[in-house]
């Protein structure tokens, strides 16, 4: 069994901005937040969980069938937010802007294409975001959460041309992502 997810990678310029932002935010929260390594920042479309290696070719076919029907599109960084709410945040993230209707349709179509393979369709509304950090231990307010929520990123764009299937290898130092497959959109084939 391997732990997998489907994601969109971000532009190099966006990754550099996220690295700078994460470094600026670190002192605001001390050790209460486990920050994502900037090179691991991505937009998750579908978390598959533990998957039998024998199922990878079926996943490949399903996703390829969906993704090849989409034209390239653009997304950008939006305002900061938290899940589930400000009073007791668990995840710190940046939202997205741009062609969100296209992104939402792509996510939904991928989700539905995987249902016949036994992957439960997502019940929650898709909220496109880039996770920057996860709050460790204890619940309750974070002192500088309002400072975080005021982050207003510059107008950086990611030209979406591919969807990637990754293996997530959990290690004490943090997750390591290994690419398993790449699915080009219609204009990028």
Express each pLDDT in 92-109 by its tens digit: 999 999 999 999 999 999
The Cα 162–Cα 178 span in angstroms is 16
| SS3 (DSSP) at 88 | coil
Residues 1-18 pLDDT 10s = 999 999 999 999 999 999
Of the candidates 178, 64, 162, the residue with the CA atom closest to the CA atom of residue 110 = 64
In the chain the domains, ranked by start, together with CATH numbers, are: 2-188 (3.90.1140.10)
User: How far is CA 49 from its chain centroid?
Assistant: 14
Q: Residue 138 has what pLDDT?
A: 63
To the nearest whole number, what is the mean pLDDT of the chain? 94
Q: Residue 140 has what pLDDT?
A: 57
What is the reported pLDDT for 69? Answer: 96
Helix, strand, coil percentages, rounded to 5, for the chain: 35, 35, 30
Task: Point out the residues of the chain with pLDDT beneath 50.
Answer: none
Tell me, what's the pLDDT at 175? Answer: 86
pLDDT at 86: 86
The answer to whether residue 42 is catalytic is yes
For helices 100-114 and 56-67, give the axis angle rounded to 10 degrees.
Answer: 150
Active site residue 129: yes
* pLDDT at site 174: 80
Which residue out of 85, 129, 159, 164 is catalytically annotated? 129
Catalytic site residue from 42, 85, 159, 164: 42
Number of separate helices (H) and strands (E) present in the chain: 4, 9
Work out the number of other CB atoms within 10 angstroms of the CB of residue 13: 12
């Amino acid at each position: 069994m391997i732990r997998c997810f489907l994601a969109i990678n971000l532009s190099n310029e966006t990754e550099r901005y996220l690295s700078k932002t994460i470094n600026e935010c670190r002192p605001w929260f001390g050790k209460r937040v486990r920050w994502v390594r900037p090179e691991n920042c991505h937009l998750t479309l579908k978390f598959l969980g533990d998957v039998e290696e024998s199922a990878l070719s079926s996943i490949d076919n399903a996703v390829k069938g969906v993704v090849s029907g989409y034209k390239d599109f653009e997304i950008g960084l939006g305002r900061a937010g938290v899940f589930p709410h400000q009073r007791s945040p668990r995840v710190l993230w940046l939202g997205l802007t741009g062609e969100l209707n296209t992104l939402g349709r792509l996510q939904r179509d991928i989700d539905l294409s995987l249902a016949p393979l036994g992957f439960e369709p997502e019940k929650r509304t898709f909220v496109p975001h880039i996770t920057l950090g996860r709050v460790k231990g204890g619940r309750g307010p974070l002192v500088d959460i309002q400072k975080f929520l005021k982050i207003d990123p510059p107008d950086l764009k990611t030209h979406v041309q591919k969807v990637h299937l990754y293996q997530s290898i959990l290690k004490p130092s943090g997750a390591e992502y290994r690419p398993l497959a790449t699915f080009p959109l219609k204009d990028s084939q």
